[in-house]
């Protein structure tokens, strides 16, 4: 989000899912769409079979690699050299969109200077992608009129995640693949309401709609609306919260529907932080690993017991409707509202709709959205007025920030790479059958997929004497877990891939503590481990 | 767009060139019975139930695959058409189990609906019947090929929506069946359990296992909502019976996903019924969680958070909101953190 906010002024998917049907080329970088976002994956596969060109850039032989015109097996953590390499070819051969660059962007010279040294030879060495493929993909992407780029956490979960995103933005701006249907830079949001949680200001630096807490005018607006005085100091991001919990500066936490012990990198650090808190409230569906540390657990209502809205990856605000009564008798919003009132900020919401109405009045991009308008079909923000139809694609005639900003970015290697002691590269992600937290509690799903199957290459399996279904111990500098293995050429020799879904194999005990300096996102995609067979 | 003039059931209509007779009829409000045709799948002309009479044509063409032409005169319910449909239905019923009273598709079965509409009580065709073993190899889909009418909708849904290509026809003649490669059970096939095949099946051949025996289709209350399993924003209906969610049904009028869902959205919702769900507030006393009332829990939180805020300052508090919760919940969480606790220490795990 920070990357696109810098380049374009707005940190969201620029275009819409349905435009996949119009695109002539799909460039997928670090997104295993058929597993993590299956319905979008179906549309990509349909597009490829209809004749759209498909370029898949992924270290793993993911399903869509089988459908692709080009599958580039990139070395993990070398996305910037790859993208800079494409731009090097596009600029040196004069294939870039000169009108777009001139009229719609700034800082082109800096980009040009930076990518100059990313020659195809140099890039091929770093990325493992052959030079003919680099040329072919550069030519194809630059010469196609409607090209959509998609990425997910394969781009952002790196120490250079923000730079990776800006590099993708650079490539799209350079070729003018923005501001029209069937183009754009499209991060697909992993969780159902990532976009909404960001839009709602569940972030330490902004109120709703990205209104900055450091801006006095924004503070004043919310102070007036809420009848309180507000802090202008930017708050802590999650890793800093746990840093300060460990150091004793953060004393109390309220955790709503998150299980950082299982899902955050370097989980031992999270556990010790939670342990040191004087008071912890967890509002959850289940007694999770995190809830076990709580002083008070509040039973949460599931989506089926909740009225409200989610905002999807394409900025579409859609209704969530209560089908059954909350098991524990209260909606989540009722509980937080009661706590507000009990502690002196009196709120009297009679329904979720009243909360939405208050929020949309304070949030320009949601200003024209109401429950009545989205009863049948969601609306894509920005939607500033009650007459506005919503916005399927952004940056049509100008970027949110005015001109698109090229950011000259250099290669930053992963913080931890394999060495003699920890010779394997571990990368992590999601599998089709599970979601981050709730699916292990689905009886149906869990009866089929209840344990980790780490992917290991046939070459390594042979060397280590491993067969499908055998158990190994995987150890990193931070922790160890045991897991079964699945021998497959989806991964390359020297690489092991694991999901993070299972309590019995808590993969994030292994993952790196390294963070992107801007977003403080963990480098889940690369760390070094060793593997030992358990007899 | 070029428009073509034709006459259907005596009514003059215009339809875009290239339309099929079925599309032209439906656009002007004339419904045509069909078992294998779906607007979101390629037309196949398999079930023949949509046959119509076209003047000057000795055969009864299938309207779902026959393009219109200028001056065409079509009858969708002429005596010849009705007789043909009855025979088609009788042929289908000749090898179809008559256990409708216990079939989970009852109330939503298009074969039953048309048999009723055309007054087909039983079949004059008597012969051998299939006796396939029912595939219950997995927790999601029950496959009873005895009820399959070979309309091919599942084959097309698997190929054209999901792109998994897991289903196809096998064998010939009477032995022809729709099945997986090598005719193995779903669990041993390449199936990813997206359930698109179930969503399009017009009979009880493919049904949702989770809903079996729980409720009749007409007893279900359907509540349209948004899937909680990723950022795509698929819509579906939660099916509720006696205060419990018993299933999920997708619908072609969902703007983002149409009929398509994945295994999580269609079948993973049952976490909400898991008996490990927390149903009462819990307060930790001497290291153990003890059930408490809402008032006790909220009072304790208010008291302790006030103490900590007064003693250590606002910034000693931090809140984790959730990318899985609603906008309204996230809005309130940041309002509570900022407005009550006086700090901007609020974040959620998916900031990138």
pLDDT at A43 over 80: yes
* Cβ–Cβ < 8 Å for A443, B209: no
Across the interface, whether the CB atoms of A254 and B162 are under 8 A apart is answered no
What pLDDT, on the 0 to 100 scale, is given for residue A525?
A: 87
Mean predicted confidence (pLDDT) in A293-318: 97
End-to-end CA distance of chain A: 45
Nearest residue on chain A to B221, judged by CA atoms?
A: A323
Higher pLDDT, B147 or A430: B147
Domain holding A77: CATH number? Answer: 3.40.228.10
pLDDT in tens, A262-297: 777 777 889 999 999 999 999 999 999 899 999 999
DSSP per residue, A493-531: TTEEEEES--TTS-GGGTS---B-TTT--B-TT-EEEEE
What pLDDT, on the 0 to 100 scale, is given for residue A529?
A: 92
Q: Which chain B residues are Cβ-neighbours of A337 within 8 angstroms? A: 332
Across the interface, whether the CB atoms of A192 and B342 are under 8 A apart is answered no
What pLDDT, on the 0 to 100 scale, is given for residue A429?
A: 86
Assessment of whether the complete model's pTM goes beyond 0.90: yes
pLDDT at A513 over 60: yes
pLDDT in tens, B39-92: 999 999 999 999 999 999 989 999 999 999 999 999 999 999 999 999 999 999
Alpha-carbon gap, residue A228 to A222, rounded angstroms = 8
* Residue B109 covered by a domain: no
Q: How far is B212 from chain A (nearest CA, A)?
A: 13
Across the interface, whether the CB atoms of B264 and A377 are under 8 A apart is answered no
Q: How far is B153 from chain A (nearest CA, A)?
A: 17
* Residue A403 covered by a domain: no
Domain holding A254: CATH number? Answer: 3.40.50.740
Closest C-alpha to B36, from B48, B20, B21: B48
Q: Which chain B residues are Cβ-neighbours of A307 within 8 angstroms? A: 328
Q: Which of A166, A188, A210 corresponds to the end of one domain?
A: A188
> H helices within A324-369, ranges in order?
332-342, 352-362
User: Pairing between strand A70-72 and A53-57?
Assistant: parallel
Mean pLDDT computed over every residue of chain A: 93
Closest C-alpha to A104, from A314, A410, A409, A394: A394
Q: Which chain B residues are Cβ-neighbours of A321 within 8 angstroms? A: 223-225, 238
Please count the helices (runs of H) and the strands (runs of E) in chain A. Answer: 20, 19
Nearest residue on chain A to B141, judged by CA atoms?
A: A444
Q: Which of B45, B77, B109 corresponds to the end of one domain?
A: B77
Test the B interface: residue of A2, A162, A208, A442 with most B CBs within 10 Å: A442
What pLDDT, on the 0 to 100 scale, is given for residue B349?
A: 79
Q: Which chain B residues are Cβ-neighbours of A308 within 8 angstroms? A: 326-329
Q: How many domains does chain A have?
A: 3
Nearest residue on chain A to B258, judged by CA atoms?
A: A39
What pLDDT, on the 0 to 100 scale, is given for residue A28?
A: 97
Across the interface, whether the CB atoms of B326 and A447 are under 8 A apart is answered no
* Cβ–Cβ < 8 Å for A158, A514: no
* Cβ–Cβ < 8 Å for A329, B252: no
Question: pLDDT > 90: what percent of chain B?
Answer: 95
Nearest residue on chain A to B349, judged by CA atoms?
A: A238
Across the interface, whether the CB atoms of A324 and B240 are under 8 A apart is answered yes
pLDDT at B351 over 70: no
pLDDT band at residue A170 using 50, 70 and 90 as cut-offs:
very high
Tell me the helix, strand and coil percentages in chain B, rounded to 5. Answer: 30, 20, 50
Test the B interface: residue of A49, A209, A237, A252 with most B CBs within 10 Å: A252
The side-by-side arrangement of strands in the sheet containing B53-54 is B11-16, B3-8, B73-75, B53-54
What pLDDT, on the 0 to 100 scale, is given for residue B311?
A: 97
pLDDT band at residue A438 using 50, 70 and 90 as cut-offs:
confident
Non-local (6+) Cβ contacts of B302 within 8 A are A339, A342, A343
pLDDT in tens, B158-189: 999 999 999 999 999 999 999 999 999 999 99
DSSP state of B133: P
Mean predicted confidence (pLDDT) in A452-459: 94
Q: Give me the domain span that covers residue A337.
A: 194-380
pLDDT in tens, B22-31: 999 999 999 9
The verdict on A171 and A202 lying in the same domain is no
Across the interface, whether the CB atoms of B331 and A197 are under 8 A apart is answered no
pLDDT at B138 over 80: yes
The verdict on B258 and B313 lying in the same domain is no
Question: pLDDT > 90: what percent of chain A?
Answer: 79
DSSP state of B312: H
Closest C-alpha to A195, from B226, B262, B338: B226
Which member of A258, A304, A436 has the closest CB to residue B238? A304
The verdict on A307 and A328 lying in the same domain is yes
Closest C-alpha to A424, from A317, A497, A358, A514: A497
Alpha-carbon gap, residue B163 to B203, rounded angstroms = 23
Q: How many domains does chain B have?
A: 3
The verdict on A92 and A127 lying in the same domain is yes
Alpha-carbon gap, residue A189 to A89, rounded angstroms = 30
* Residue B134 covered by a domain: no
Q: How far is A241 from chain B (nearest CA, A)?
A: 7
What pLDDT, on the 0 to 100 scale, is given for residue A1?
A: 63
Mean predicted confidence (pLDDT) in A469-487: 93
DSSP per residue, B271-296: GGG-TT---S-EEEETTEEEE--HHH
* Residue B208 covered by a domain: no
What pLDDT, on the 0 to 100 scale, is given for residue A383?
A: 97
Nearest residue on chain A to B336, judged by CA atoms?
A: A340
What pLDDT, on the 0 to 100 scale, is given for residue A441?
A: 86
pLDDT at A54 over 90: yes
pLDDT at A514 over 90: no
Closest C-alpha to B329, from A320, A366, A10: A320
Q: Give me the domain span that covers residue B272.
A: 214-277
* Residue A147 covered by a domain: yes
What pLDDT, on the 0 to 100 scale, is given for residue B186?
A: 95
Q: How far is A513 from chain B (nearest CA, A)?
A: 15
What ipTM does this complex have?
0.93
pLDDT in tens, B87-124: 999 999 999 998 999 999 999 999 999 999 999 988 88
Question: pLDDT > 70: what percent of chain A?
Answer: 99
Alpha-carbon gap, residue A390 to A104, rounded angstroms = 23
Which member of B264, B298, B352 has the closest CB to residue A1? B352
pLDDT at A435 over 80: no
pLDDT at A509 over 90: no
Closest C-alpha to B138, from B266, B323, B280: B266
């Amino acid at each position: 989000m920070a990357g696109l906010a810098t380049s374009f002024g707005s940190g969201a998917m620029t275009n819409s899912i349905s435009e996949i049907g119009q695109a002539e080329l799909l460039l997928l970088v670090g997104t295993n769409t058929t597993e993590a976002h299956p319905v979008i994956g179906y549309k990509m596969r349909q597009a490829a079979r209809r004749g759209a060109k498909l370029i898949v850039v992924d270290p793993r032989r993911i399903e869509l690699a089988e459908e692709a015109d080009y599958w580039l097996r990139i070395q993990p953590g070398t996305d910037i050299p790859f993208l800079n390499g494409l731009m090097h070819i596009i600029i040196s051969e004069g294939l870039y969109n000169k009108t777009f660059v001139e009229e719609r962007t700034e800082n082109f010279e800096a980009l040009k200077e930076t990518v100059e040294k990313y020659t195809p030879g140099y890039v091929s060495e770093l990325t493992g992608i052959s030079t003919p493929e680099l040329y072919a993909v550069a030519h194809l992407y630059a010469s196609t009129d409607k090209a959509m780029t998609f990425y997910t956490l394969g781009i952002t979960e790196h120490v250079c995640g923000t730079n990776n995103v800006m590099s993708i933005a650079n490539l799209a701006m350079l070729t003018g693949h923005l501001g029209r249907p069937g183009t754009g830079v499209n991060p697909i949001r992993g969780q159902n309401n990532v976009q909404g949680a960001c839009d709602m200001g569940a972030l330490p630096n902004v109120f709703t709609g990205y209104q900055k807490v450091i801006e006095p005018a924004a503070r004043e607006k919310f102070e007036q609306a809420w009848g309180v005085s507000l802090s202008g100091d930017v708050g802590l991001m999650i890793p800093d919260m746990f840093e300060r919990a460990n150091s004793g500066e953060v004393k109390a936490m309220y955790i709503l529907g998150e299980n950082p012990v299982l899902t955050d990198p370097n989980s031992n650090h999270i556990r010790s932080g939670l342990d040191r808190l004087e008071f912890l409230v967890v509002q959850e569906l289940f007694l999770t690993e995190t809830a076990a540390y709580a002083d008070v657990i509040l039973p949460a209502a599931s989506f089926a017991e909740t009225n409200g809205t989610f905002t999807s990856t394409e900025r579409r605000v859609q209704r969530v409707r209560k089908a059954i009564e909350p098991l524990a008798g209260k909606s989540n919003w009722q509980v937080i509202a009661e706590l507000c009132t009990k502690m002196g900020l009196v709120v009297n919401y009679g329904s979720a709709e009243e909360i939405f109405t208050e929020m949309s009045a304070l949030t320009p991009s949601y200003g024209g959205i109401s429950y009545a308008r989205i009863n049948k079909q969601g609306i894509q923000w920005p939607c500033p007025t009650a007459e506005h139809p919503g916005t399927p694609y952004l940056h049509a005639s100008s970027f949110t920030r005015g001109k698109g900003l090229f950011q000259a970015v250099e290669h930053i290697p992963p913080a931890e790479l394999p060495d003699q002691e920890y010779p394997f590269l571990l990368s992590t992600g999601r599998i089709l059958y599970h979601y981050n937290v709730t699916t292990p509690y689905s009886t149906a799903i869990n009866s089929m997929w209840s344990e980790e199957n780490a992917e290991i290459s046939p070459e390594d399996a042979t060397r280590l004497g491993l067969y499908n279904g055998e158990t190994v111990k995987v150890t990193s500098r931070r922790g160890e877990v045991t897991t079964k293995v699945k021998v497959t050429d989806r991964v390359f020799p020297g690489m092991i891939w694991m999901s993070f879904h299972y309590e019995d194999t808590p993969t994030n005990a292994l993952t790196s503590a390294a963070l992107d300096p801007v977003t403080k996102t963990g480098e889940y995609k690369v760390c070094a481990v060793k593997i030992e067979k358990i007899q | 767009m070029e428009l073509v003039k034709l006459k259907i059931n005596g009514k003059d209509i215009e339809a875009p060139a290239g339309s099929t007779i079925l599309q032209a009829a439906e656009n002007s409000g004339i419904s045509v019975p069909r078992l294998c045709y779906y607007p979101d799948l390629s037309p196949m002309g398999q079930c023949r139930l949509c046959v119509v009479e076209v003047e000057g044509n000795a055969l009864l063409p299938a309207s779902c695959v026959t393009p219109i032409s200028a001056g065409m005169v079509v009858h969708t319910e002429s005596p010849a058409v009705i007789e043909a449909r009855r025979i088609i239905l009788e042929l289908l019923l000749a090898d179809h189990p008559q256990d409708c009273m216990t079939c989970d598709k009852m109330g939503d079965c298009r074969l039953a609906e048309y048999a009723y509409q055309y007054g087909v009580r039983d079949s004059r065709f008597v012969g051998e019947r299939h006796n396939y073993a029912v595939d219950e190899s997995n927790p999601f889909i029950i496959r009873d090929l005895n009820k399959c009418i070979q309309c091919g909708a599942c084959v097309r849904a698997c190929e054209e929506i999901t792109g998994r290509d897991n289903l196809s026809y096998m064998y010939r003649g009477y032995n022809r069946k729709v099945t997986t490669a090598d005719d193995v059970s779903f669990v041993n096939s390449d199936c990813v359990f997206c359930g698109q095949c179930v969503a399009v099946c017009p009979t009880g051949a493919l049904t949702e296992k989770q809903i079996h025996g729980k409720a009749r289709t007409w007893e279900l209350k359907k509540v349209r909502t948004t899937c909680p399993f990723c950022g795509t924003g698929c819509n579906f209906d939660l099916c509720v019976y006696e205060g419990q969610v018993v299933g999920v049904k997708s619908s072609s009028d969902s703007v983002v996903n149409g009929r398509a869902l994945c295994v999580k959205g269609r079948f993973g919702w049952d976490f909400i019924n898991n008996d490990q769900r927390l149903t009462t507030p819990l307060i930790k006393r001497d290291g153990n969680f003890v059930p408490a009332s809402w008032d006790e829990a909220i009072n304790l939180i208010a008291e302790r958070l006030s103490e900590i805020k007064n003693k250590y300052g606002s910034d000693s508090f931090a809140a984790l909101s959730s990318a899985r919760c609603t906008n309204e919940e996230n809005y309130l969480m940041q309002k509570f953190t900022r407005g009550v606790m006086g700090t901007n220490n609020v974040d959620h795990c998916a900031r990138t």
